[in-house]
Amino acid sequence: MPDVIFPLDSARKFEDQEKIGHNRWHPEIPPVATVKPGDSFRVHCREWFDGAIVNDDSAEDILNAPLLTVHKLSGPFAVEGVKPGDLLVVDILDVGPIPQEDAGPLAGQGWGYTGIFSRNNGGGFLTDQFPDAYKAIWDFSGQVATSRHVPEVSYVGLIHPGLMGTAPSAELLGRWNRREGDLIATDPHRVPPLALPPEAGHALLGSLPASEFDRVAGEAARTAPPRENGGNQDIKNLSKGSRIFYPVFVDGANLSLGDLHFSQGDGEITFCGAIEMGGFIDLRVDVIRGGMDTYGVSENAIFMPGIIEPRYSEWIAFSGTSVTLDGTQHYLDSHLSYQRACLHAIDYLTKFGYSPEQAYLLLGSAPIEGRLSGVVDIPNSCSTVYIPTAIFDFDVRPSAAGPYRIDPGMGAPRSRNA
Amino acid sequence: MPDVIFPLDSARKFEDQEKIGHNRWHPEIPPVATVKPGDSFRVHCREWFDGAIVNDDSAEDILNAPLLTVHKLSGPFAVEGVKPGDLLVVDILDVGPIPQEDAGPLAGQGWGYTGIFSRNNGGGFLTDQFPDAYKAIWDFSGQVATSRHVPEVSYVGLIHPGLMGTAPSAELLGRWNRREGDLIATDPHRVPPLALPPEAGHALLGSLPASEFDRVAGEAARTAPPRENGGNQDIKNLSKGSRIFYPVFVDGANLSLGDLHFSQGDGEITFCGAIEMGGFIDLRVDVIRGGMDTYGVSENAIFMPGIIEPRYSEWIAFSGTSVTLDGTQHYLDSHLSYQRACLHAIDYLTKFGYSPEQAYLLLGSAPIEGRLSGVVDIPNSCSTVYIPTAIFDFDVRPSAAGPYRIDPGMGAPRSRNA
Amino acid sequence: MPDVIFPLDSARKFEDQEKIGHNRWHPEIPPVATVKPGDSFRVHCREWFDGAIVNDDSAEDILNAPLLTVHKLSGPFAVEGVKPGDLLVVDILDVGPIPQEDAGPLAGQGWGYTGIFSRNNGGGFLTDQFPDAYKAIWDFSGQVATSRHVPEVSYVGLIHPGLMGTAPSAELLGRWNRREGDLIATDPHRVPPLALPPEAGHALLGSLPASEFDRVAGEAARTAPPRENGGNQDIKNLSKGSRIFYPVFVDGANLSLGDLHFSQGDGEITFCGAIEMGGFIDLRVDVIRGGMDTYGVSENAIFMPGIIEPRYSEWIAFSGTSVTLDGTQHYLDSHLSYQRACLHAIDYLTKFGYSPEQAYLLLGSAPIEGRLSGVVDIPNSCSTVYIPTAIFDFDVRPSAAGPYRIDPGMGAPRSRNA
Amino acid sequence: MPDVIFPLDSARKFEDQEKIGHNRWHPEIPPVATVKPGDSFRVHCREWFDGAIVNDDSAEDILNAPLLTVHKLSGPFAVEGVKPGDLLVVDILDVGPIPQEDAGPLAGQGWGYTGIFSRNNGGGFLTDQFPDAYKAIWDFSGQVATSRHVPEVSYVGLIHPGLMGTAPSAELLGRWNRREGDLIATDPHRVPPLALPPEAGHALLGSLPASEFDRVAGEAARTAPPRENGGNQDIKNLSKGSRIFYPVFVDGANLSLGDLHFSQGDGEITFCGAIEMGGFIDLRVDVIRGGMDTYGVSENAIFMPGIIEPRYSEWIAFSGTSVTLDGTQHYLDSHLSYQRACLHAIDYLTKFGYSPEQAYLLLGSAPIEGRLSGVVDIPNSCSTVYIPTAIFDFDVRPSAAGPYRIDPGMGAPRSRNA
C-alpha cells in the first residue's frame, strides 16, 4: 500500500482533519502535498456531502442536501517540476470504499446511496418527470452492491472517482466565470438554475491564508461541472487500471479529486446518480513534457480505461429520438433523445413491477451504457441506453410469456414534503 | 441459405428489378412479399445511392450525391396475422456484402465508401469545421476493411443495416409531417435545412397503383431520420445475432430495410459516415401479441445486440463539454459536447500525420463508441468518444517519446468546387 | 469474394471434381494450384466423409463411418517462392457453410452432424463409458445451430477448419512413420488402435501419376493426427480473423486443408465431435523468410485467434483429477483429469434431463473450454471444463431450488447393432 | 469489511498466532471458527512457506524451500448445520495482498515471488529441461505486477487462492492414502517422487489435542495435490466474484484455504509457478442441502468464475503434440503435448532476448491459458498455450521485420549449487 498523503479520520468532519481539502477550483489554493513524477501514493476521499446523507428509509436528507458545500475534494497535490503545457499522466492503481470499516454513519463504510434530487434543490436529468426527492441505500458485499430499496438487482462494482482534475490558471478561471455568468444572465431566476456562480459562504479553500480568503472565495469556481481541467466528468470507466492525461495550467499541476462512486451508469442521470461513497484511491503520477502541444490536448482530459471492468455479454437496449413527450420536434438534440431512451427503459422496467422511481434510481446506479447512436439524420438524433441483463435476478428479456413480476418491497423512500 | 424474397440484380438499377422497393415511408405502399411468424428469409439490399458513388479518387460524386433519392429500401414485407399493438421480433441471422461478387461498380462488390458531405448538400456532424466534400474508398478482405485514402488503419467488420423499420399508420405519419413541418417553419431557408419535408419528385413507392401515386408521394415521409417506427437509427450494434423488437402500427407490420454498413462509429458522424455498401441480410421474424402494451413499448425499437461483435480490450478516449469552439457556454448540450470530444480526437490524430479530413473519415467509419458520460452537471454535459487502439497499425497511445508519424499517402480526395 | 481456386460441385463425389484433392500427407502429391505471397483466394471444402453421414434419425451411418477414407482435403496449394525454413503466414479471411445451398444431402447444406463413434470403429475420448454409436443432427439458422436430438440448447457458430497444414518433407514423413510404427508395435491388436499406419487401399493422392501411386500410397501418412506440419489440430479458435504461422518443409509449402466445423468444444471429445460440415474458406497467404529459425518455430503451428469469437461472460466449470473411475491413482495424467472433468459435466447435465449421450454430444459440439489448470501438484493433475451458460435456453446454474427439467425429446439416435 | 475470523500478525510465525492453522488434511482437525450459512467473513492467509522465501537476488531459498511444511492453511471453518451430502456454496467477495502493508519481509507485503524448483527438491512441469533452482521477485503497484528479474512485461492481477477445500471424511482420507501409497510403491525411490505420503515430522494440526497428534499426523494427507475435496486446484480463474460449490464430507464442511496468488498461468507450470503471496480473502458461505445428489457432484468442486477478470483481446498461441523431444511417439498424452506447447513458447520468447528460465518463469506467472485442443486424434493429442500480447511492453507478434530484443537485465537469479 502506498503512503497516505491525504488521510481522513472517519470520526471527524472534513473541515476538522489533519490536512484540509477544498470545494472550489482556484489556482491559489495551496497544495497539501508535493510528489514527484513516478511516485505512487494513497489519498482518502470523503463522500461529497460529508455525511449529510444517512443510511435510513427516509429521503428528507436528499430533499435538503447541502449543495452549496460540495464537492469535498482531496488535494491539491503538486507534482514537482510539472509546468503549464505538460500533460499530467495519472494512473489509478486501486480505488475502493473505506478500508477496514464496513459499518458506520459515513457512506463508504460498507454502504452507499443514490438520490433523486428535488426539482427545487438540484434537479436531475429527468426532473420534469421526477420532481420529488427519493433515495436508495446500497449495501456492499465485496465487489457487489444490492439495495433494500431497489430489489432483485445487483451490480459488480465499477468503482471510480467522479471528479478529478488539475487546477485552472487565473486566465482559465476568468474564462469560466465569464462564460457561465453570461449563460446565467440569459435567465437568472430559472429553477433549476442554468449554472452555478461562485459562492463564498460555503467555500472551503484548504490552507489558504485568511487574508486572501474573501477575494479567492469570490472568484473560485464551483465544482459541479466538468471543464477544461477535467473536473466532475463522472466517467464511469475511470476505474482501476485507467490512465488519464490531464492538461496542466499551473506550476505543479495541482491535482485534486473526490466524489467516489461504487457504480454508476453513463450520464449519472439522477444527478446524485451513482452509488455515492467515500473511500481511498491509489495513484501514480508522471509527466509528458510539453505534451499538450505534442498531442494536441489543449483542454479536457484524454484517457485509457482499465482492463478489469465487469464483463457483460448480453444487453437489452432502448432507443430514443429528439421529439419531446408532448410531440414537439427538436433539431438533433442528443440530450433529449437520451432522455427519451431512458424514459423508454423506465417504462419497460415498470412492467416488471418496479416503480418509476426505482427504475430511475436503477438507471443512475447500474453500469448502463449511454450511446450517441445517430447524430446526423435531421431532424432526429438517436440515442440508446444499454442495460446488462445479468444485473437482474430474473429474466428481463421480452418474450411471448410476458414479464416476470418482482416484489417491489418497501419501494424507494420519498421525502414527505417534496 | 434461406429463400431470397427480395432479389436484386447488380447489373440493373434499383427501379428496374423484379421486385420494386421504395424510398419513402407510407402505410399504403403495398408489401412485396408476405411471410409467416417463425419464417427465415433473405433480402438483398442496394447501397443507398444506387451506384452514384464510384470507386475512384475523386469526391465529385459525393459533392453531387442525389439526396432526394434515398434510401433505397427493400420491402415492405408483411408478416401474416401481425396487428397494430403487437411487437414484431426480428432476428438478424446474417448480414454481409454482395455474395459472390467481389469486384464491380456497386458498393458492396468488394468495396465500400465513406463520404464527408458538403455543407450545401447535406452537411454532417462537424459541418462547420468541414464544409467541403471528401471521400474514402474501403476495400474488403474477408472481415477486414482498409483504405488507400486513410492509411495504416484496418477494421474488422461490424456489419449492420443502418435502416430498418415498420410502416407508420396514417395517424402516425400525420404526426410526423406536422411536427417536422412546424420545425422547418421556424427557419425555412436554413442550410442545411432543419428537416426534410415530403418530396414527390424522386419518390419511389414500390408497386403502388399509379392512380394513388401523387397523393401518397405528397404525404410520404423521407427516410433520413429515425422515428417511432425504428427507421434510420444507424445503430452500429444491430449486427449478426441481434434481436430487435419493433412496435407495429399497421396490419402485417410491413417491415422495410436497407442502408447496409460494413463498419460505423457511434453517431455515423460524417453523415455518409459508415462504410456504405449493398449486400444481403438474412432475417427471421416472430411476434409478441399485444407486446407494445405488455412491455410498455409505445414507440422506438428495443433491441439486444449479438454476441459476435469484434472484441477490443484497449481504448483511447477523448472527452468534450458543452462549450463552443469560440468559448460560449451552452446548457447541458450533449450534441455539442460530443462534437467537442470528436474534435479533440481529430486534433490528436492529426499529430500522427493524418489530415483533419482523414481523421474525420476515420471516426465516422471505425467502431468507435460515443458515450453520454455526464448529463446532469450544470451547465456542462460531458461526452466521450472511445477509439479501439487495435485498429491502428502503430502504437497510438500517448507517451514521452511522442507520436509516430504515418505516411498520409494521397490523402482523402476532395471535390474540386466544394 | 476472392477467386475460387479449388471449386467443388455439391452434386458430385469428391473424386469426381474438376480438381482432385487428397486424403493422405506426402511431399510428392502435386499442387492443384499455385498462388503468390499476398494473394487472397477461396477454397471449397467437402465434409470429411464425403456424404456418408446423412440427415436422418438413425446412427447406422456413424456405426459404419468409412474411417479409411478420411480426410477429404482441398489442396495442396503451392505458394510461389516459399522455401523450407520459411514461415507460411495464413490469414483466415472468412469461413462458412456451403454458400447459397441451405438444403441437400451434404453436411454443410444448412445442417451438420456430431457423432459418437463406436469403440469398434474409431472410439472417442470417453469410449470406455460410451462404446456405442450415436448421432446428432444440427440445423443452421444464420449464425446459430440447434438440434432436434439435443434440445433446449443453441450455439453461435465458431466456424473453423479442423485441419490445415503444410506438406511434410520426405525426411519428416519418414520420422512420422517410424515413430508411429514403433508405437503400434507395442500393442498391434489394440482396439481402438494406438495409431493409424499408411493404408493404400483408400488413398486419394490428387493428380499423382499412376506410375507413382503404389509407392506413395504405401508411404503416405494418415491425416487423423496433428503433427509438426499442423494438420488435424482441431483448434476451435482458428476462426475468422485468425492468423496462423506454419513451418515450411517443402518448396512452395503445399498447404492443404479441410474438415470444417460449425462449432466445437476444446478437445472435440466425441472424436466426430464438432458439428461437421462442408463449406468454403477464404485465405490470404504470406511468408516470413527464414522465419522458422528467426522465431524458433521448428515444428507445430503458432497462431493468433481472431477477435470475433462469440462473447460469453458467464461459465459453469467442472474440475477433474487424475484418478480413474475405479479409484486408481495415476501420476499427473492430464488426459485422464480432463476425462474426469468431462464426466463430471455429463453427470451434472443428466440431472437436468439430458441422457448421458446427449450431454456427451453437447460437450463435443458446444464452445466449451478445456483447461490444463494444474499440472505440477503430484500426483494429481487438475483439468477443468468451462461451459458457457448462455447456450442453454434455461437456467443451468446450481441453486437451492434444484435443476430445471428439459424435455429430452426423441433423444440422440443410437445404432441398432452397436 | 467483514469480521476477521482468522487474523494473522505479519510479525509472527504462522505457528505463533492467536489462531493456529494447519498444513495437512484430516477430518479430526478442530474448526477454528464456526459461521452460519449466509455469513460473510474475512480470513487472513500466510504465503505457503511462511516467510522462507525472501525479496533478494538469490535463489538459495528456492533451492532449500521447506516442502515438508506446506501449505499454511487458514481454517478449518465449520458452517453450522451443513451435513455430508450437501454442497457448500462459497462466494469469493474479495481477495488481495496484505492490506496496509506494502513493504516487509513477507511475500504479500507489496511483493511476491515465482520459483523454479530444483529437480531434487520438488521439480516442476519442465523439470527435465530446467533441473536447477531459479527465482523471480515481483513488485505490486496497485493491480499490476512487474519484476526486475523478468523485464518488459507486466500483469494485471488475477488474484486467487491456489488452495481451498472441505475436510475429507475418514473413509475418503483412507482412500487417498491407499491409492497414493499404491502409486508410490510402483517406484518408491523416484526423484521427484510419484506422490507424497503422510509425514508427521512437520505436521501442523491446529488445536488438535496433543494426545491425538501422533495418530492423526501419521494419517493426515499432504496438501500438494488437488483431490475430491477441492484442495490445491490452482485454478487461476477462482478470483473475485467466483462462486464455488464444494462437496461436503464431514459435519460442518470444515472449509480451509490458503496459498494466495497474485497472478498465475493455467497449469502453474513452474510448480512454485504463480506469484506467491500472503493476504486476505473475504468469503460468504451458503448451502444447497443434499446438493451432491441433486446435482450429481460426488467429488471435485464445480464453480462459476467472476466477471472481473482482466480483459485481453489479442493472444499469441503455441501448439504441441504428444511426441517427446527425442522423437518418441506417445499415445494421446495431453500432459506431454502441453509440455511441448510450453517449450515452443519458451523457444519463441528466447528469440526476443529472454533467457529460457525467464521465459519459463513468465509462463508460470502470466495469465496464460492452457487448452486441451485435441484429445481424440490418435496417436497425437494437441494442447495449446495462449499468451495475451498486451502483457508485453513491446510488439511480440511475428513479422517480417523480426523480433524486438529486450534488455534481459540481471536475469533470473540461480542458486549456486543447484
- pLDDT attached to residue C281: 97
User: CB contact, 8 Å: A338 with chain B?
Assistant: yes
**Which chain C residue is nearest to residue A394, measuring alpha carbons?**
C395
For residues B306-331, average pLDDT: 94
Average pLDDT on B67-91 reads 97
- Shortest CA gap B139–chain A (Å): 24
Q: Which whole number is the average pLDDT over C247-270?
A: 96
Q: In whole angstroms, what is the distance from residue B310 CA to residue B368 CA?
A: 12
Measured from the Cβ of residue B33, the count of other Cβ atoms closer than 10 Å reads 15
Please check whether residue D190 touches C, CB under 8 A: no
**B101 contacts C308? CB cut-off 8 A:** no
Residue D418 above 80 pLDDT?
no
In angstroms, the separation between the Cα of residue A61 and the nearest Cα of chain D is 26
Please compute the mean of the pLDDT values over residues B122-132 and round it to a whole number: 93
| Contact status of A94 with chain D (Cβ, < 8 Å) | yes
pLDDT given for residue A417 in this prediction? 61
C228 contact residues in D (CB cutoff 8 A): 321
In a 13 Å sphere around the CA of D339, the CA atoms on its Cβ side amount to 22
* Residue C229 C-alpha, separation from nearest chain D C-alpha, in angstroms: 11
Searching chain D, which residue's CA lies closest to the CA of residue A390?
Answer: D307
Chain A contact for D101, CB < 8 A? yes
Who contacts C402 (Cβ-Cβ below 8 Å, separation ≥6)?
D294
Closest CA to D349 of D389, D384, D310: D389
The verdict on C312 touching A (C-beta cutoff 8 Å) is: yes
Q: How many other CB atoms are found less than 10 A from the CB of residue B293?
A: 12
pLDDT of C223 above 50: yes
Among all residues of chain C, which has the CA nearest to that of B94? C142
Closest approach of A100 to chain B, Cα-based (Å) = 31
Chain C positions in Cβ-Cβ contact with residue D236 (cut-off 8 Å): 373
- Tell me which amino acid residue C261 is: H
| Structure letter (DSSP) for residue D205 | B
What per-residue confidence (pLDDT) applies to A416? 80
Contacts of C197 in chain D (CB under 8 A): none
> Quick check: D143 and A94 CB within 8 A?
yes
Enumerate the residues of chain D whose CB falls inside 8 A of the CB of residue A101.
1
The radius of gyration computed from the CA coordinates of chain B, to the nearest angstrom, equals: 21
Phi first, then psi, for residue B137 (nearest 5°) are -100, 135
Which uninterrupted H or E stretch holds C156?
strand C155-156
**At the topology level of CATH, where does D315-391 sit?**
Endonuclease I-creI (3.10.28)
Write out chain D residues lying below 8 Å of C402, CB-based.
Answer: 294
- Residues B1, C284: C-beta atoms closer than 8 Å: no
Q: What is the largest CA-CA distance in chain A?
A: 71
Q: What is the mean pLDDT of residues C239-264?
A: 97
Q: Is the Cβ pair D241, A1 closer than 8 Å?
A: no
As a whole number of angstroms, the distance between CA A91 and CA A307 comes to 13
Grade residue A273 by pLDDT with cuts at 50, 70 and 90. Answer: confident
Among A114, A264, A334, A337, the strongest candidate for a mutation testing the B interface, having the largest count of B CBs within 10 A, is A334
Residues of A in contact with D309 (CB under 8 A): 308, 311
Q: What is the pLDDT of residues A47-106, one digit of tens each?
A: 999 999 999 999 999 999 999 999 999 999 999 999 999 999 999 999 999 987 889 999
Residue C56, amino acid: D
Give buried/exposed letters for B44-73 (b at 16+ CB in 10 A, else e).
bbbbbbbbebebeeebbbbbebebebbbbb
Give D33's strand partners. D77
- Give the contacts of C275 (CB within 8 A, at least 6 positions apart): C112, C113, C114, C138, C145, C155, C261, C262, C263, C264, C365
A212, three cell numbers: 486572501
**Could you report the predicted ipTM of this complex, rounded to two decimals?**
0.95
Fill in the DSSP letter of residue D221.
B
Q: Does A393 touch chain C (CB under 8 A)?
A: no
Per-residue pLDDT tens over the stretch A162-201: 999 999 999 999 999 999 999 999 999 998 899 999 999 9
Interface test with C, best of B92, B156, B307 (most C CBs within 10 A): B307
C-alpha cell recorded at residue D36 = 452460519
Q: What is the pLDDT of residues B368-396, one digit of tens each?
A: 999 999 999 999 999 999 999 999 999 99
Tell me the average pLDDT of chain D.
Answer: 95
Decide if D94 and A142 are in contact by the 8 Å CB cutoff. yes
In chain A, what residues touch B89 (CB-CB under 8 Å)? 398
Cis (ω within 30 of 0) for the bond into D202?
Answer: no
Query: In a 3-state reduction of DSSP, which class is residue A115?
Result: strand
pLDDT at A418: 47
Structural contact between residues B258 and B48, judged by C-beta atoms closer than 8 angstroms: yes
Percent of chain C past pLDDT 90, that is, above it, reads 94
Which residue of D312, D313, D316, D395 to mutate against B (max B Cβ within 10 Å)?
D313
Among partner residues A87, A225, A237, which is closest to B377 by beta-carbon distance? A225
What pLDDT shows up at residue B417?
Answer: 62
Q: Which residues are paired to B238 by β-bridges?
A: none
Any chain A CB within 8 A of the CB of D40? yes
CATH for A4-304 (3.90.1150.10, 3.50.50.60, 3.40.718.10, 2.60.120.580): 2.60.120.580
- D neighbours by CB contacts (3+ pairs under 8 Å): A, B, C
pLDDT in the model for residue C243: 97
pLDDT in tens, A277-334: 999 999 999 999 999 999 999 999 999 999 998 999 999 999 999 999 999 999 999 9
* Position C237 pLDDT exceeds 60: yes
Q: For residue C45, what pLDDT is reported?
A: 98
A243 and chain D in contact, CB less than 8 A: no
Reference A246, options A45, A75, A85, A415; nearest CA is: A85
Inter-chain contact A372–B373, Cβ cutoff 8 Å?
no
Residue C101 binned pLDDT confidence (cut-offs 50, 70, 90): confident
Residue C119 contacts D where some CB pair is shorter than 8 Å = no
Rg (CA), chain C: 21
Residue B418 pLDDT greater than 50, yes or no: no
Q: Please give the residue of chain D at the shortest CA–CA distance from C307.
A: D313
In chain D, residues with a C-beta closer than 8 Å to the C-beta of A309 are 308, 311
| Percent of chain C predicted with pLDDT > 70 | 99
Nearest CA-CA partner of C173 in C229, C224, C234, C128 = C229
Please name the residues in contact with C148: beta carbons below 8 A apart, sequence gap of 6 or more.
C57, C137, C139, C409, C410
Which chain A positions have a beta carbon within 8 Å of B296's beta carbon? 344, 347-348, 350-351
Question: Would the pLDDT of D143 be above 90?
Answer: no
> What average pLDDT does the structure give for chain A?
95
For chain C, which chains pass the contact test of at least 3 CB pairs under 8 Å? A, B, D
pLDDT digits (tens, 9 = 90+) for C343-367: 999 999 999 999 999 999 999 999 9
Q: What is the pLDDT, as a whole number, of residue C139?
A: 96
Please write the tens of the pLDDT for every residue from D350-390.
999 999 999 999 999 999 999 999 999 999 999 999 999 99
User: What was the pLDDT predicted at D417?
Assistant: 61
D contact residues 249-288, partner C, Cβ 8 Å cutoff: 266-271, 273, 288
Same topology, domains D4-304 and D315-391? Answer is no
> Distance between CA B234 and CA B162 in Å, rounded?
4
- pLDDT, tens digit, 9 for 90 and up, residues C7-40: 999 999 999 999 999 999 999 999 999 999 999 9
- pLDDT higher than threshold 90 for residue A271: no
Count CB neighbours of C34 within 10 A.
13
Q: Is B400 on the interface with D (CB under 8 A)?
A: no
Partner-chain contact C92 B142, CB within 8 Å:
yes
Q: pLDDT tens, A24-53?
A: 999 999 999 999 999 999 999 999 999 999
Check: CB of residue C293 under 8 Å from CB of residue C84: no
Phi, psi of D90 (to 5 degrees): -120, 120
DSSP state, residue B118? P
